[in-house]
Structure 1
């Protein structure tokens, strides 16, 4: 019986349009020679873009033929001095001239792209209906580039380095951003510190930063990854990692079948990124943005250090790790002939594992992954004591850390989305964020969790990349699930599992899961128990509330003349003001991927205009509806402008962050930077963008919309809010806080946010 059917090209319901998968459906795992071959080709392709290697090779061949034919009469060839009379020297001279001639168009094209196309940013601020001449030229180049669409990393070497902003501009923007957050006395004190900084230590730190930037394509990213992530000694779950859940109404599947699909799709995704066949064309910016961090999505492990962590990147991997019933298993996704297992074969593997008798591992041996939930310095010591110093455990650890990703088979059977009971989704999302204490290998870049009822989600280690990369992978997964892979009816899946025969499965050429044995000493068991208990306490403190607002979506917001993201940010400001009675420092990440090796900048949501709007909404009806609507549009417009500013290196926080790092590295005392770094983001928000425009989320396909992601609140007395637009029909928001905080309550904030959506909507009725 065939469990599912894969189509590299599939007809839509209309029978007219062909749907291509987001990446090739590879059937074979590359050998070392094959991988070296396509890596070389990718290097050449990236080095020559926008000219393809084939055309460059043809140009070289044509040039060589021309100069060979007209060697004696070619003036260009005569300009190159002879280096000898031998045939070899003449051939070298001929090749050099041919290569130079063929490379001239490449050089000119890349020069224009590097020094004009990728540096020009004024198009972001202009009216598309009345662009300037330079923007028209920029648009013409973009149209030409569409004839040779970039591959995943074609543009990385062409993107400009991130420049260091003017010190005075950054300080002035910072002071402007905090005007509504402090009293007059506090603002006066901060202003004095800022002026002293500009006249004192600031210029020296700025010179150090500019000198450092001369040797880096991005003066922020290295420091950001090290000090914002890897230097943190806190446990990763809740404090750093991000989580996600699946769709409004997921495809009915058993646990084994769903696990097989996830492994198959994500394994192909891994190979596609490695080959650069992961299509960037539908991405934000048409693929003309930084894609360097995709290489860290799979087969990567964060290694704990005594004072600082680091990432180990294993390239591509042939196996995945499965956590099930307390056991740790290795599942090969490739057979001995390098053939990638089909979905049917992988289903056999998971069915066999799930039907094994007596697989439950009790006690400390069944909670070994809890060690990874610990504080990073403690996990570093335990990793050395219990793994690296014991040969058997060291080998087991290597198998885990070199895996492509981790699959968790959870016994939980009630994960779901119920429109009538939002707390069902809240429990689902919280479980993805916190885990159950011992069923995540936290160091791995990706953990996928499948419940007993087939619902799934995941946990991602955040230092590897940012939301746009995570979203791209998720949207491609949804694309594959809904449009490329056909699931059989659930009763067919269940019947197949009931009639499963191990002998027949072996005949189909599969290798079953292998248990990874780890020696657990008494001392190790004590540490496992401590880590498990500590994490349980931390997880119980997390207060998660999910809101799926189904009144309307981004389409209505656009008709109101507002940016959807800015609109939700104003709703969050209104909800937080009602919840806390004041304005607080608010974080929203903004993309800076127009620059080489870039990640994010901070978009500060609190402005004079946003506060004026919120106060007007709370003045007891003194301000009429039209005025409130006008204030909302004005606040949204400024928010969108600030977002564009962040995209073009006019933000505040990354520059100040690097200056603070420089002050610490040089032993420079800076009261202003110390004040800056100590400020708490009491409201941390993140918009999950749609980066591919491939998910079907219109009203007709509303059940196939993605429910979104979440993260732990950054401040212990604050909120973390992650939201996305599910087409034009819903807004998905997930709110986190901590029960131990006396001033926060996620359910209360959810009610305030829902009311804020409704109140803002009435402004445009």
Structure 2
């Protein structure tokens, strides 16, 4: 196994014999190669910036217009508007033919930019229209004339040129700021099913007082921020919800994703790791070159692509009071953790990305390395799993020099981190028993994932893969997009008959380099022990259950002519009520990426309508017809709430920003204090699915995605992630704390199964009654 290269790239010394100059040609070549690659990327970024800056126009149209003006000018045709060529000639130093051509270029550029920016402004104004979101998508439903005209104009303006990843960024509208009156009305409606009459009257009084007093002043500041900033929420959301949080990232913030549950083409850990790493690097190249097309709703409305910028080469650096996200523009290496040892693996050599077969050689070298870890190296990542301020102090004082500083910088600057686990996942043997894999990916053993990195790829000895992702830099759909691309591209053929990665190794790739550490000082060991104890306490308290439900899925929901997400959310409301005997404040994440730099908004699925339906389901006296009527009303109300959230008319982000302003102005608000002291006892999220055209369950029905999950938000609550994986398959990832006597993930999963069966029975019974009446 190769150790760290001891030679320096260049050294200079004066001796008794004269000057002594030493240099390592190989290292200098690597430095040169890295610089050339960096400049190529800068030029590519500049070219893409020009393309995006003039979208939906194209530079070719400028050349055509220039040619037409040159032809018209020299032909003596007086058709050039506003005499632009003559005005340009007046500011040029000569009147020769060359200067006349230059004047035509200035005139063409003026006309072209005027049209381009007019088109961009029109597109931005059109994308502010959200009426299409509220129109029925039921087949055969009528679409308003206004929406039809809107669709036609949007397609004309955005269909001139194939967009790049960031082409629509300048045309996306800003997140609208709701009126305080509207937010107060929505809030009071959302909390009504959670409060009795007396408590509701009390909250209503506080809300009215807030609306009529300090809310007026707070709103004025938000209006200014909404005008000045590209998004009035996102920077504060990232800063105060994520970066200023002092609790550990592990379980509390980071989330995980699981491999597909089908049998794999290889059981070789090194081969699978090589192919997945290579495909991740391909995805990074698509982002760098902006060859990845932006996601379009209804193939027409673009979503903001801003979050993709920090998918790779990104780390969350701990701070004493607040962390910061550090993104490096480029990185030619990844880091690998195996059996307590860290390695630097260079994945670019001689001007190109290494092939999967070459990366496999590197991974095999790591797996075959018999050297033991340095003292305390095995537990080093526990720092990233512990309290943030503690890690910040340790990082500043114990990792500020020598090998520790160099090796830490190597990990933080890596494209991403890879964990070669020393266990089997056995996903395909028993896909209904995924809890051990979920726990490994959510927290591992508390010190085998670098939780600060944007994401960690985790590979089992039997060839399965999962990931653990940090949440600050982006939301789950971005990581889900990468995951779909990797998993489904891999199916196109990545291994030979022996299970090795395709390709040949003509020259040996750069060998992995062991990172060196100095971890034996008493202060460092003591600090590491503190973080380790915290991580062990957290992971031992996690109660995680994963339900694979195969009795029905999206296919049955479509037959019920209802929103699949609304269907599942009502299932969760019924399950929680049966489990806890009451309703609770429920969080469901929705995206606001139809707006520039949009992230998420909260949908509150516990509504007056859903509570009425749940009570009807537990009351045996209520008829099936009444239950169905209430179910339809509840799903319709949920869909309306989801649409409001996506269109910037949610509740919680507006209240959050009002709260931030009140803290800056040192204005106390009993109403806002009560709002933000309410715990989210049921935190839910649907795993994004179908973000790429590669997803093909018709030809590969066995490759069902198991989705992913996260930890509970409240100490006495549940974290529930779900994925509608196919026409007959659903996955639920349910987490809670073992030490809480009021929660049990096993009981909640049983209630979910019971609720799913009861709702299906409700529909079947109702359909039979309708057939009899007909």
Equivalent residue, structure 2, for 1:208: 221
CA deviations over 1:382-438 (Å, ceiling 9, x no partner): 1111112x133222121111100000011112442555x73x301111111112121
Structure 2 CA distance for partners of 1:233 and 1:457, relative to 1, 3 Å: same
Equivalent residue, structure 2, for 1:437: 446
Quote the Cα distance in structure 2 between the aligned partners of 1:717 and 1:225.
Answer: 25
Equivalent residue, structure 2, for 1:107: 117
CA contact (8 A) 1:280 1:286 kept: no
Quote the Cα distance in structure 2 between the aligned partners of 1:655 and 1:677.
Answer: 12
Indicate which of 323, 344, 351 corresponds to 1:309.
323
Moved more, 301-310 or 66-75: 66-75
Equivalent residue, structure 2, for 1:331: 345
Structure 2 CA distance for partners of 1:276 and 1:250, relative to 1, 3 Å: farther
Indicate which of 255, 265, 285 corresponds to 2:269.
255
TM-score by length of 1: 0.90
Quote the Cα distance in structure 1 between the aligned partners of 2:233 and 2:388.
Answer: 23
CA contact (8 A) 2:333 2:347 kept: yes
Quote the Cα distance in structure 2 between the aligned partners of 1:30 and 1:183.
Answer: 68
Quote the Cα distance in structure 1 between the aligned partners of 2:125 and 2:698.
Answer: 44
Corresponding residue SS for 2:685: strand
Indicate which of 239, 248, 252 corresponds to 1:235.
248
Equivalent residue, structure 1, for 2:313: 299
Moved more, 693-702 or 172-181: 693-702
Equivalent residue, structure 2, for 1:18: none
Indicate which of 492, 495, 499 corresponds to 1:487.
495
CA contact (8 A) 1:253 1:493 kept: no
Structure 2 CA distance for partners of 1:215 and 1:513, relative to 1, 3 Å: same
CA deviations over 1:652-702 (Å, ceiling 9, x no partner): 000000000000011111111111111100000001122425354646633
Quote the Cα distance in structure 2 between the aligned partners of 1:391 and 1:54.
Answer: 54
Gaps of 5+ in 1: 1-27, 497-503
Quote the Cα distance in structure 2 between the aligned partners of 1:606 and 1:701.
Answer: 37
CA deviations over 1:316-335 (Å, ceiling 9, x no partner): 21110001111110001111
Structure 2 CA distance for partners of 1:172 and 1:471, relative to 1, 3 Å: same
Corresponding residue SS for 2:357: helix
Q: After TM superposition, give the deviation of residue 93 of structure 1 in Å.
A: 4.5
Equivalent residue, structure 1, for 2:592: 592
Is residue 35 of structure 1 aligned with residue 41 of structure 2? yes
Q: Structure 2 matches for 1:123-522, cutoff 5 A?
A: 123-127=132-136, 129-144=141-156, 145-146=158-159, 148-251=161-264, 252-280=266-294, 286=300, 288-335=302-349, 337-357=350-370, 359-361=371-373, 363-388=375-400, 390-419=401-430, 422=432, 424-483=433-492, 485-489=493-497, 491-493=498-500, 508-520=507-519, 521-522=521-522
Quote the Cα distance in structure 1 between the aligned partners of 2:750 and 2:515.
Answer: 47
Corresponding residue SS for 2:532: helix
CA deviations over 1:542-561 (Å, ceiling 9, x no partner): 00000011111112101101
Structure 2 CA distance for partners of 1:435 and 1:65, relative to 1, 3 Å: farther
Structure 2 CA distance for partners of 1:173 and 1:205, relative to 1, 3 Å: same
Q: After TM superposition, give the deviation of residue 70 of structure 1 in Å.
A: 3.7
Quote the Cα distance in structure 1 between the aligned partners of 2:79 and 2:212.
Answer: 67
Structure 2 CA distance for partners of 1:67 and 1:667, relative to 1, 3 Å: farther
Q: After TM superposition, give the deviation of residue 56 of structure 1 in Å.
A: 3.1
Equivalent residue, structure 1, for 2:706: 707
Is residue 98 of structure 1 aligned with residue 108 of structure 2? yes
Equivalent residue, structure 1, for 2:87: 80
CA contact (8 A) 1:588 1:685 kept: yes
Equivalent residue, structure 2, for 1:5: none
Structure 2 CA distance for partners of 1:58 and 1:332, relative to 1, 3 Å: farther
CA deviations over 1:240-277 (Å, ceiling 9, x no partner): 01111101114133110111011101011111111111
Structure 2 CA distance for partners of 1:32 and 1:639, relative to 1, 3 Å: same
Moved more, 97-106 or 299-308: 97-106
Corresponding residue SS for 2:434: helix
Moved more, 44-53 or 642-651: 44-53
CA contact (8 A) 1:575 1:753 kept: yes
Q: After TM superposition, give the deviation of residue 107 of structure 1 in Å.
A: 2.6
Equivalent residue, structure 1, for 2:756: 757
Corresponding residue SS for 2:467: strand
CA contact (8 A) 1:71 1:77 kept: no
CA contact (8 A) 1:63 1:102 kept: no
Quote the Cα distance in structure 2 between the aligned partners of 1:108 and 1:155.
Answer: 14
Corresponding residue SS for 2:702: helix
CA deviations over 1:125-172 (Å, ceiling 9, x no partner): 123532222211122134433463422111111111112111110011
Is residue 694 of structure 1 aligned with residue 708 of structure 2? no
Gaps of 5+ in 2: 1-33, 765-774
Equivalent residue, structure 2, for 1:661: 660
CA contact (8 A) 1:271 1:316 kept: no
TM-score by length of 2: 0.89
Quote the Cα distance in structure 2 between the aligned partners of 1:452 and 1:78.
Answer: 71
Is residue 684 of structure 1 aligned with residue 683 of structure 2? yes
Quote the Cα distance in structure 2 between the aligned partners of 1:73 and 1:735.
Answer: 70
